[in-house]
Homo-oligomer: A and B are copies of this chain.
Amino acid sequence: MKPFAPRLDLLRGRVDLNHGAGGRSTAQLIAQLFEPALRNPLLNTAEDAAVLPGLAAHGPASAAAASARLVVACDAHVVSPIFFPGGDLGSLAVHGTLNDLAMMGARPLYLSAAFILEEGFPLGDLHRLARSMGDAARAAGVAIVTGDTKVVERNKADGVFITTTGIGILDAELSLASSAARPGDRIIVSGSIGDHGIAVISRRESFAFDTSIVSDSADLTPLVRCVLEAGSTGVRVLRDPTRGGLATALNEIAHSSQVSLQIREEALVVKPQVHAACELLGLDPLYIANEGKVVLICNPAVAQAVLHAMRQHPLGADSAAIGEVCAGEPGSVVMQTRLGGWRLVDWLSGDPLPRIC
């Protein structure tokens, strides 16, 4: 990423919606405000989850215990509306955090859940969300082990916000990292892009239009297990393209790995209804959030095996190889259009769809 100019104005600046969009402004806020303030050797802001040292480092345990590396991920969920086609805030709060663990190759074990409620929020809706969370957690084989509930006055929140923190464990010698992409590696996406964002926006009052699109919100852990079984250490990077969409995930990888990514527009799967909605709203599906897709970078030697394994899984039936890693301009993402030209795929700037997750 290019240096941020101008610098964040800590004297007179104010938070705007872009700071929460997952693009350049979010990265600037993290780099110039949170990182210096919270600085410690374990804080790694390049990933959505932290891989921690073996627990043996912390107390009287055997050397074998050192192999049990914890992975921790945390997500605040503020999606609006809270119920949308294909999901709701409750299941999303489970899937979103589990997927951050899955992207490090972790097996999820536990979740914590904190609810910030607005006075007047219907208990029936809260009940529906809580049951949806419980169902999603049980389906994923994880336990919600602790939580908290706070209530604020009317107009001091928006119904309900749910923050979940996930704890998983890394068994094997995996070292997935967004900095691990190498020239020659292949880029694979597990299916269609933009479904979640368009499903949510279709239910938002100000954007009311009809669509049959449902959110792809799902726990990606089982798909990731297939990927890692098929590709083993040939899999370098896993990323779920949520806020900011596929374009943002690819830019993060290109930046962290200091490589150039080249993708082909014709290889991308965009459902016709998503395409139509994007046309109508002036949006680009590359920047629309997904909640049940993974983009991965792997060694070309394992690419076919990985793609084959993914297509056998229901969550990866439409998987496609969309491009490759090159030694071009470090940090750049370029796309060959359907017409054969090349287009720069920049970081998200601005926030086309606030409160999408």
A→B interface (CB under 8 Å):
8-21, 26, 29-30, 33-34, 37-44, 48-50, 52, 55-56, 58-62, 64-65, 67-68, 70, 72-78, 80, 107, 109-110, 112-124, 126-127, 130-131, 133-134, 137-138, 143-153, 155-158, 161, 163, 165, 167, 169, 171, 354-355
Contact = CB atoms under 8 A, between A and B. Distances in A.
B76 A116 contact: yes
- Give 6 nearest A-B pairs by CB, closest first: A20-B151, A74-B112, A62-B64, A37-B130, A165-B165, A65-B65
B117 A52 contact: no
A195 B26 CA distance: 37
Nearest to A39: B134
A80 B153 CA distance: 11
B62 A354 contact: no
A76 B37 contact: no
Number of identical protomers? 2
B116 A78 contact: yes
Contact of A72 (B17, B116, B145): B145
Given A158-B152, A354-B153, A50 B145 contact: yes
A169 B59 contact: yes
Given A70-B167, A112-B165, A76 B40 contact: no
A143 B40 CA distance: 6
A12 B120 CA distance: 11
B33 A144 contact: no
